[in-house]
A and B are shown apart, each in its own frame.
Chain A
Amino acid sequence: MRRGSRKARKGQAEVIAAMILIPLLIVVFSTITLSMFKTSVTGTSSFASRAKFEQERSSEALQAVWADTACRIINVGPVDVTIVRVWWVNGTYKAANELIKKGGDITKVSLSEGSNPVPVNAIDYAVTSRGRIFPFKTMCEQSQSTTNQNINVYGGVPFTSEEILNMTRLVGTSYADKKIITGVTKDGAPFIPNVSVLYWADYPEKDWYLNSGSGWVKDIDAYATIDPKALDPDLDNNGINEVTIVSVTSGGLKLTPISLSGKSDGSGSSINYMVNITFVNLLRTRDYVDVITVYFKLVAYLSTNPTKQITVGTAAILQRGVNSAFASGTVAVGSYAAPGSSGGSIFTVTGSIIFPVKAYDPYRAVIVENEDYNLTLSFTINIPSGSANLDNLRIEYVAVTGAELKWKP
């Protein structure tokens, strides 16, 4: 009986303790769980909205285009952009309020304090509501300099204008550092000892520039005689100036376009000329290298039409230090009569050269990420026997996809 009473008391105590402890535990655990959930939800929603903001911020994209006499800023990005402040390099700034809807454009920026709207090309920097800074003045100047050259590549090319080595970029700013090395051989033997490239640039100054491998030298016509054949800056009259390959002869320094002629001795054999043009430190590979493609256009003048087809073999070499990678290219050759010309025709060669870096180990070993490379374009021109004469050889453009062009306008 005593044992039974003790058991009953113990049971009572356990029930009482359980009644107190269980609600207490429920309260503690639910509060902790709720608190953790709240922190997690707050963190997730805050960072989600920040991530969305960062995505919008990084996708803001404005582009400058010169139309008539005004610079136009076009919103080419996927989000609307609002200009909230404008700066000048003297350290002054003004609050602005100018919305550029996606796909829309502006030529002036309205200021908040009611003064007259300011033309975009008179603004050094524009700041957006998301905190991006766009150098309007520089964008307009660069746009103007490229528009003057009227660079067009026909046929819906798969690259942007940033990747076209147009002629403004060939000279442009820092022109003394842009080295182009040119060489010509005839049937494997030296042909012309001193070969350079000559170009008439509108920018940075309207002037003749010569590149003999150690950067562009301006005002070359002041102390050299340029052959009249080289004086036409745009041989095929398409609005784009070409770079002319010229021989440099000392003794009065004369610049003459090279002339590649066939054998007229009746032997029937053709001649192979090889023209190499190397753009030093032109390309920089990106973080991820897959396929690098080089596009080009060669222009020449056929003073005498050949009796047989002229063939042009093309190749490109990417070189870094002692390592180099070689690839041969596809080519399309065409010729058409030169307008107003009594004889002869314009001879054009366009083509592309592909380096499938990722797919082939030998390329992968040489072409690595984030390195600078020289680009050499190599043309093997076979002139058949006869009186054919390929004259005034020029390069109109070089374009690259899969790598960055280091030479800036």
Chain B
Amino acid sequence: MKGQADLISAVILVSVVLVMSISFLGYASSLLSQKTAESDLNNLLQREAANTLIYREYEDEEGGVLYLGVVRVDGTRGTYYYLAVNKTYCSINGAINGGYFKGGVLEVSSSRVYVVTSSGQYVPLSALAPSLSTVPLNPLLHEGGNELLAVGDFTVSLNPPSTPNCLAVILFTQVGGDYYEVGRYYETWE
């Protein structure tokens, strides 16, 4: 009789331990897969950022068009999406809030567009500009090598002495349905 009780209590104890272990394993696996996904995303973004060079190539003052060169270091093809904004207030936070955006082919929810802050963290634009529900993005199909990106068609002139005196062009790469910054060109005028 006593032996049966011991056996039953052992079975119960082992079952409880097993259930707890499996639950913990499930939690740990889920946490791990989340961390692995974040790590993979970081890897991808690091690689893309290191692979992308953006520089000023030419400014057509009469046409109000700024031509930027975009180089893919490894020469592979890729698709970027870019956001162009100008504003008098030149921090990225200030520019996004109420800046003049170049019209875009896509209107993307600002919570899905991530930019890099001065501390090096990716944050969604919606966190920087809560009033901004969508932002206009344009695709740039890059054939590899050195491609030209023409930024114009602003509602106000790119050139001084018109009101906006800074311009930011941010390149994004798309991962899933989200857009992450991988390059930025910034220009200010005195």
> A131, B55: Cβ atoms under 8 Å?
yes
Contact with A49, one of B9, B42, B50 (Cβ below 8 angstroms): B50
Considering the complex, give the chain A residue whose CB is closest to the CB of B21: A20
Q: Mark A31-72, 1 if CB is under 8 A from B, else 0.
A: 110011011001100110110010000000000000000000
Interfacial residues of chain A within 158-209, with CB under 8 A of chain B in the complex: none
Interface residues of A in 1-57 (CB under 8 A from B): 5, 9, 12-13, 16-17, 20-21, 24, 27-28, 31-32, 35-36, 38-39, 42-43, 46-47, 49-50, 53
* B80 → A minimal CB distance (Å): 15
- For the complex formed, measure the closest distance between the CB of B72 and the CB atoms of chain A, giving whole angstroms: 10
The B interface, classified by DSSP as helix, strand, loop or mixed, is helix
Interface size range of chain A in the complex: 35 or more
Bound CA–CA A43/B120 (angstroms): 15
Report the Cα distance A298→B90, complex, angstroms: 55
- Is A28 within 8 A of B55, CB to CB? no
> Contact flags (1/0) for A139-163 with B, using CB distance below 8 Å?
0000000000000000000000000
Known contacts: A91-B63, A129-B71, A131-B69. The answer to whether A24 contacts B148 by CB under 8 A is no
B180 to chain A, nearest CB (A): 15
Chain A residues in 8 Å Cβ range of B36: 31, 35
The CA-CA distance from A17 to B17 in the complex, in Å, is 7
Known: A42-B43, A87-B58, A93-B58. A31 touches B32 (CB 8 A): yes
Q: Are the CB atoms of A35 and B69 closer together than 8 Å?
A: no
Of the candidates B10, B17, B42, B46, the one whose C-beta lies within 8 Å of that of A20 is B17
B74 touches which one: A12, A43, A49 (CB < 8 A)?
A49
Cα-based distance from A91 to B21 in the complex (angstroms): 69
Q: How far is the CB of B46 from chain A (nearest CB, A)?
A: 5
The answer, yes or no, to whether B60 is at the interface (CB within 8 Å) is yes
Which residues of chain B come closer than 8 Å to A123, judged between CB atoms?
none
**B168 CB → nearest A CB, Å:** 19
A284: chain B residues within 8 A (beta carbon)? none
In the assembled complex, the Cα of A352 lies from the Cα of B67 at a distance in Å of 48
Partner of B51, one of A20, A43, A46: A46
CA distance A46 to B43 in the complex (A): 9
Contact: B21 with A49, CB < 8 Å?
no
Closest CB of chain B to A380's CB: distance in Å?
48
Residue contact A85 to B42, C-beta cutoff 8 Å: no
Residues facing A in B31-58 (CB within 8 A) are: 32, 35-36, 39, 42-43, 46-47, 49-51, 53, 55, 57-58
**Chain A to chain B contacts (Cβ below 8 Å), 17 pairs:** A5-B6, A20-B21, A24-B25, A28-B28, A32-B32, A32-B35, A35-B36, A39-B42, A46-B50, A49-B51, A49-B74, A50-B50, A91-B63, A127-B57, A127-B69, A129-B71, A129-B146
The 3 A-B pairs with the shortest beta carbon distances in the complex, nearest first, are A46-B50, A91-B60, A42-B43
